[in-house]
Each structure stands twice: as structure tokens, then as C-alpha cells.
Structure 1
Amino acid sequence: MNKTIFLILISFLFSSNSLFSQSHNLNSIMSQCRYAKKPANFNYEGATPCPACADLDKKDKEAKKAEDKRRLTENKANQLAAKEALAVSEANRLKKEEAEARDARVAALVKEKEIKDKTVVAQAKGGTSELLNVLVEGDRGDQKIVRFTVPSGVSFMEVILQEGGVGSKNSADLFVRRTINPTVSFKQYSHYTWEADCASTNLNRAQELCTFTNPQSGEWVVLVGCIDNCNYFSSNLVVKITQ
């Protein structure tokens, strides 16, 4: 009987929460939690999960979840900002191209008006006028194309290639053709062939000249080429017409 009472008492002590104290200890060697519910008067350790560790684990998971969410939001914001910056850059590029194209059209119209005005003056005076005067530059092997329009009623035309001023070098050759581009083919030993209505291939730095009597109206094409025996050219291309 006494033995039975003793066993019942022991069972009661181990199952009663009122007689247990909670501790959250770390093993000094393994740094692991050794939580246990211990009876006040007994040196006993149970396998009960540690509430403190569970709470810390929960907080760690919540903090990680919040950090992941913050990073995701930040990445989305950065991507949106980059996309907006790219759109602004593209819009600015298009505006710049449109402005450049507009300026080029205006310049072409102004140049066309100047040519027409000069032609009208020349026709009125029956004299000579300058239809074109441009600087043409390039390196060895370059073939620069320049186009111009001859008005009707021209009795004489000169196409001149000459040095433009201090520091310039007229080492290129001159080829002129109506409507289509002149063609030049280099062979060897400073020899080359061409297809053009006129060609001027004087020695380096000498003035090149092509003349036409009663040239047909319409588009004409000039090829300025540094074909051989030159490294660089800087020349003024001048077209003069006489009504």
C-alpha cells in the first residue's frame, strides 16, 4: 500500500506544472539549448521543446521574410527607374535626331535658294556666277562624291578643284559626270582607269579643271579622289556657270 502511494506521489510530481521551473541553458561545449522542465526537488531533464528557441526561430523567419520582401520591392523599384531612364534617353535621342534632320532640311532649302538667287542674277546680267563652293577633304584611297544641279540656259560651266587656303593640300584628282557617279578603278604603278564625262589628273597640288560648253541642265556628280601618290587632301571644289 505504501509503495503504491509512493508511486502515485512520484507520478504526480513529474506531471504537475506547478512544481516545475523553466530554464533556457546553453551547453558550454556545443552551444546548444538544453531546455528542460525540472521538478523543484529533482535533478531531472525532459525532452520538452524550448519555447525561447521556438520564439527566436519564429522571429528569425519573420525577419528573413521581411528582408526578402524589402529586397524584392527595391529590385522592382530599381528596374522601373532604369526602364523610365531608358525611355527618357530614347525620347531625347529621337528629339535630337528630329532637330538635326529639321536643321539639315532648312540648310538645304537655304542653299537651294542661294543657288537660285545666284542663277537669277547671272541670267539677268548674262555673266558668270558661282554655283558651288565647298571644301572637300579625305585620305588616301577616299573617293568623295558631291552633287549639284545645273539650271537651264547655261552656256559654259567650269568645275575647279584647287587648294582652299593656308594648310590645305590639293593632291586629289577630279572626275565629273552628268546624272550618275563617275567610276575610278586603280590598277598598279600609279595607273588607273575611269568612266566620266571629264577627268583632270594633274600632278599633286596642281589645280584640276573640267570645262563644259552648253552643259545639260539637271544633276551632275563630281568625284574627288585621292587615288594614289597622296596621303591626304584638302581642296575647294568650285563650280562656275555662265549664262
Structure 2
Amino acid sequence: MLHLPPFAPTRSLELVEARLARRSRVKRLVIALSAGVVALLALVPAASHAQAPVVEANPAPAAPAPATPAGTMAPTPGATMPAAPPADTMPPATQPAPGIAAPATAAPPPTASPAPAPTGTPPAAPAPAPMAAPAQPRPPLTTPPPPPPRDAMVQRTAGSVAYICGGVAEDEQVALQSEARKYNMSLLFTQGARGEYLSDVDVKLMRGGKEVASFVADGPRCLVKAPSGTYNVRATYQGRTKTATVSTGGKNAQMRW
């Protein structure tokens, strides 16, 4: 028959109390360490704010932080980052932080100046200027002769009729007599019983009820050259009108007032 040792309750209680005491000490140690870590983390931001440089009242907007690639940890505030390895290409230019002077940019390489011409070569002679064409002489400006005086004994035209009037002076009478063969009609204007000569008579030649020519007789006698036919002559002097029928070939058709 198996014999069991007697139950010792006192020994078991002592072991349980010892285990509980050890667990309590471990918990208190963990709590104390956690409190110390929390206090240390609270002191680190305060120290970083105390050492931060003074910035301007209106600071420039900070550039956005570069995106952190996947798998990397963002840097902790206040911790120093290791230097990046040198790259083969130049990094892109960034805007300097406020208060830091921007580095001077490198000056562009000097441009090569053209080589001077050798001193022994004479300079090229300038091309001769083209010879200007000689100016053409302008023809002299001719002014038309002035019209003859109204009472000058010259031939004039009125429509299809040519005429010449005069005969007040003796020389005019002789000139008209010599020109009479060139005309096919002749008119003489007089007044009174003595047949005094008249001038400034308004003359109109009518044919078939239509006016063919109209002119003012500057003298008592008018030589007329008109197309062949018969004409009705209407002469007006000082408001009084006389009429006569004259055919080409008729000479010395007299009209008296």
C-alpha cells in the first residue's frame, strides 16, 4: 500500500507568496522604466524648441518634404541624418533656406573672339558706287498764249460755224475785204438813216427752227463760214431784235435799226 507524504500547507503558501512578490517587483520595475521613457521623450522636443533658430516674421513657405520611399523610416525630429553617398550627376538646384546666402553661380565660359586679320594683308578696297544716270533735261514749261482781246479781229468758232467780225477802222475794212473769199456769208449791222456802224450785237443763226450758232459781233461786219443752206438770222441790239433770211453765198446782208 502506497504511503503519501503528509500535506504541508505552510510550505505551499510560502512558495505562492514568493512568486507573487517577484511578480510585483517586476511590474513596479516596468512601470518605473515606462515613466522614465515618457519623461525623456517629453524633454527631447522641449530641448529642440529651445535650440531652434529665430526665423523672420513672414517666413517663406517651406518646400514640401520629399516623399519617403516605401520601406524606409521617416527621420525622428532632432536626429541627424547620415550623409548621402555622392552621385554621378549634379543634384537639382534648390531654393536656399531663409538667412543662408545662395552660392554664387559659375560664370559662363568666355566666348572666343575672332582672330585678327594678318597685318601684312592690305584691306579690301570698297566697291565703287554705281554711276548715276545723267538727269534728262526737262522741257521748258510753255504757257499757252493769252486769249486775244474780245474786240480783236480774229477768227472764232461757234458750233459748226466759223466767223470773224470787225470793220470799224479803215485797216480792218481792208483786212476783211481780203478775207471775204474764205467765207460764204457776210452780215452788216447799221442804224439810222445815215447807216452808222453798230457793234456788240447778239447774233443767232437758226436752221429748221433749231439754233446752230450764237455769238456777239464785235464789229459792224461779220464774215461767216457755215454749212451750205439757208439760215434765219436773229440779231438783237439794245433789246430790239431784227430778223433776216440769208443763204450761203449771200454777201453784204444788211440789218438796220
**What TM-score does the superposition give when structure 1 sets the normalisation length?**
0.26
Report 1 or 2 for greater relative contact order, CA contacts < 8 Å, sequence distance ≥ 6.
1
**What TM-score does the superposition give when structure 2 sets the normalisation length?**
0.25
Structure number, greater radius of gyration:
2
Q: Which has the higher strand share?
A: 1
Q: Which has the higher helix share?
A: 1
